[in-house]
């Protein structure tokens, strides 16, 4: 036992981890939430930070502030590197100091990261969008590309700087491509003297036969039409084979194509965070597709009822990698733990309640699917705005986001265009994989 009160250690302050912590606010437990950033990031609006609509502070709220009134919870800043399922401890580090935290119940909710499907060299030239740093780096690259085009004296070079390639036709790819098209056609109008930003070419490459496959064929076709209406070139069946500093190579219809482009964004692949595979190995459990951990019907690690795996890290049939699924999982795990601590019957196995899918394409254009209802156009867009405002964490953020949206969608203005040299460099630096740092200790700890 970790102490007198039952201690619940939650790793990851995203949707699953935070909602689990909040779900335990009235339970007779001590909650320790460990997160490597100390912020709850509202990932669905990251693309708006990447394209200059919102500032990072509006979508990343300090976990200390969120939990300030929850007396039974505290935040431990740190990156978890090791879990010992036998000693029931979690090892994390921050600022060079290592902390070992004992637990009675462990909830692991460290989310997902990008997958380049083994093509790690793509990472440097086509950053993905998962963190605030990613968004700021992409933003720096997008606006820098227009500056480079303005200074370019060679026509081919100018065209290359004005070509933006987004890889992946899921919601993130669609949203990023739509926003780059809008900012070049609207927001940057009359900002330059040598170039017309509206000449920018925005290309969305998707290897599969359709965009947004989860939305079904009707909405998928509509999303494509909407994107094309705002100037995005949509290329389906285009499989990327190479990416470097100056071009993207892909095959389509049996042809190899080379496209010169300075700015590339990767929105094609998702893999569970490295802690997932490591946990599965420790427990002798299955790692499912993308490194996710297959969980029991009550979201626990098979053979370890005291360990929950939640959100994007967990694999369960019929449960998608969406914020709503992570929230429901976090709340469910909190109910199970509260029942156990009180000696009550635990709730029935976890059941995901599908509340639908939303994706925005551009101003006044979105697609929404919920049950049998399908919405498109301005109505869907208004629904998208409303849902995101309601789910955004923090009253102050809702107010400022509303103001920024008004400025951007009514007048085309984007307030968040400043970039530091550090941000511009970030995306070029390939991050050190966490798993590599973890392996020796996990191998030693395997039982
Ligand atoms: C760009 C983008 C757009 C999206 N749009 C939508 C959308 O429109 N609708 C929707 O429903 N879903 C959307 N999603 C998916 C949604 O955001 C995820 O499904 C959801 O965030 C998963 O929640 P989670 O708690 O599992 O993980 P996350 O929210 O990713 O949280 C993981 C947390 O763990 C922390 N962490 C990771 N590793 C460690 C470690 N080793 N030690 C300590 N802390 C660690 C991280 O700092 C983070 O706080 C989007 C995702 C992205 C990236």
pLDDT at 427 over 60: no
The one-character DSSP state at 199 is G
For residue 171 the two structure tokens come to 């919601």
Q: For the chain, which residues make up each domain, given as ranges?
A: 6-114+271-354, 120-268+356-425
> Contact at 8 Å (CB) between 75 and 67?
yes
Ligand 1 atom showing the smallest separation from residue 322 Cα = 19
Question: Where would I find the beta strands (DSSP E) of 95-168?
Answer: 97-102, 105-108, 112-114, 163-167
pLDDT, position 425: 61
What is the whole-number distance in angstroms between the Cα of residue 39 and the centre of ligand 1?
11
DSSP per-residue codes, 416-438? -----HHHHHHTTSPPPPHHHHH
What's the N-to-C CA distance of the chain in angstroms?
20
> What is the CATH code of the structural domain delimited by 120-268+356-425?
3.50.50.100
SS3 state at 355: coil
SS3 state at 73: strand
Backbone dihedral angles phi then psi of residue 239, each to the nearest 5 degrees: -100, 120
pLDDT digits (tens, 9 = 90+) for 318-359: 999 999 999 999 999 999 999 999 999 999 999 999 988 999
Grade residue 391 by pLDDT with cuts at 50, 70 and 90: confident
Which residues are paired to 242 by β-bridges?
249
The average pLDDT across 394-405 equals 89
The average pLDDT across 294-307 equals 95
> Contact at 8 Å (CB) between 68 and 45?
no
For residue 287 the two structure tokens come to 């790692």
pLDDT digits (tens, 9 = 90+) for 176-213: 999 999 999 999 999 999 999 999 999 999 999 999 99
CA atoms of 204 and 224, how far apart (whole Å): 10
For residue 184 the two structure tokens come to 């070049």
Percent of the chain with pLDDT over 70: 93
pLDDT digits (tens, 9 = 90+) for 96-109: 999 999 999 999 99
pLDDT, position 447: 27
Please, what is the Cα angle at 311 between 324 and 217, to 5 degrees? Answer: 55
For residue 53 the two structure tokens come to 């609509």
> Contact at 8 Å (CB) between 391 and 408?
no
pLDDT at 290 over 90: no
pLDDT, position 337: 98
**Architecture per CATH, 6-114+271-354:** 3-Layer(bba) Sandwich (3.50)
Ligand 1 atom showing the smallest separation from residue 321 Cα = 19
Whether 182 is catalytic is no
CA-closest residue to ligand 1 atom 21: 323
Burial class for 125, CB neighbours closer than 10 Å (0-12, 13-18, 19+): buried
Give the residue from 446, 415, 443 showing the smallest Cα distance to 143. 415
Grade residue 420 by pLDDT with cuts at 50, 70 and 90: low
Residues with CB under 6 A from ligand 1: 11-17, 34-37, 41, 43-44, 46-47, 79-80, 109-111, 129-130, 171-172, 273, 275, 311-313, 321-324, 326, 434
* pLDDT averaged over every residue in the chain: 90
What is the whole-number distance in angstroms between the Cα of residue 101 and the centre of ligand 1?
23
The average pLDDT across 395-402 equals 89
CA atoms of 89 and 385, how far apart (whole Å): 42
* 6-114+271-354 and 120-268+356-425 have identical folds: yes
Candidates 44, 177, 267: which one to mutate for ligand 1, based on the most atoms within 8 Å of Cβ? 44
pLDDT digits (tens, 9 = 90+) for 224-251: 999 999 999 999 999 999 999 999 999 9
Grade residue 423 by pLDDT with cuts at 50, 70 and 90: low
């Amino acid at each position: 036992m970790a102490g007198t009160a039952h201690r619940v250690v939650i790793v990851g302050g995203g949707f699953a981890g935070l909602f689990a912590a909040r779900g335990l606010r009235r339970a007779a437990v001590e909650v320790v939430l460990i997160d490597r950033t100390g912020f709850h990031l509202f990932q669905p609006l990251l693309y708006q930070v990447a394209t200059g609509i919102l500032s990072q502070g509006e979508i990343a709220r300090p976990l200390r502030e969120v939990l300030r009134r929850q007396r039974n919870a505290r935040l431990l800043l740190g990156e978890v590197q090791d879990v010992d399922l036998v000693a029931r401890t979690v090892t994390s580090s921050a600022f060079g100091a290592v902390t070992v935290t004992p637990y009675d119940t462990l909830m692991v909710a460290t989310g997902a990261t990008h997958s380049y499907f083994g093509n790690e060299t793509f990472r440097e030239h086509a950053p993905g969008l998962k963190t605030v740093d990613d968004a700021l780096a992409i933003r720096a690259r997008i606006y820098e590309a227009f500056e480079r085009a303005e200074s370019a004296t060679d026509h081919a070079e100018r065209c290359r700087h004005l070509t933006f390639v987004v890889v992946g036709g899921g919601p993130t790819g669609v949203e990023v491509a739509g926003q780059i098209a809008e900012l070049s056609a609207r927001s940057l109008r009359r900002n330059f003297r040598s170039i017309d930003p509206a000449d920018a070419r925005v290309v969305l490459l998707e290897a599969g036969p359709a965009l947004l496959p989860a939305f079904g064929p009707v909405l998928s076709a509509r999303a494509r039409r909407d994107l094309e209406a705002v100037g995005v070139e949509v290329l389906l069946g285009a499989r990327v084979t190479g990416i470097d500093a100056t071009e993207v190579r892909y095959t389509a219809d049996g042809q190899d194509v080379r496209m010169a482009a300075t700015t590339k964004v990767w929105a094609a692949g998702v893999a569970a965070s490295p802690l997932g595979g490591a946990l599965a190995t420790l427990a002798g459990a299955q790692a499912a597709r993308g490194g996710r951990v297959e969980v029991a019907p009550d979201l626990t690690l098979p053979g370890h009822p005291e360990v929950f795996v939640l959100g994007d890290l967990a694999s369960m049939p019929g449960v998608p990698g969406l914020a709503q699924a992570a929230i429901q999982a976090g709340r469910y795990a909190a109910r199970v733990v509260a029942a156990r601590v009180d000696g009550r019957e635990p709730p029935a196995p976890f059941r995901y309640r599908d509340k639908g899918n939303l994706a925005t394409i551009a101003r006044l254009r979105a697609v929404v699917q919920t049950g049998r209802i399908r919405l498109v156009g301005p109505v869907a867009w208004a629904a998208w705005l409303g849902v995101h405002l309601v789910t955004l964490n923090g009253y102050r953020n809702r107010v400022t986001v509303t103001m920024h949206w008004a400025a951007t969608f009514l007048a085309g203005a984007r307030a968040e265009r400043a970039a530091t040299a550090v941000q511009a460099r970030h995306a070029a630096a390939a991050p050190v994989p966490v798993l590599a740092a973890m392996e020796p200790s996990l191998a030693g700890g395997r039982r």
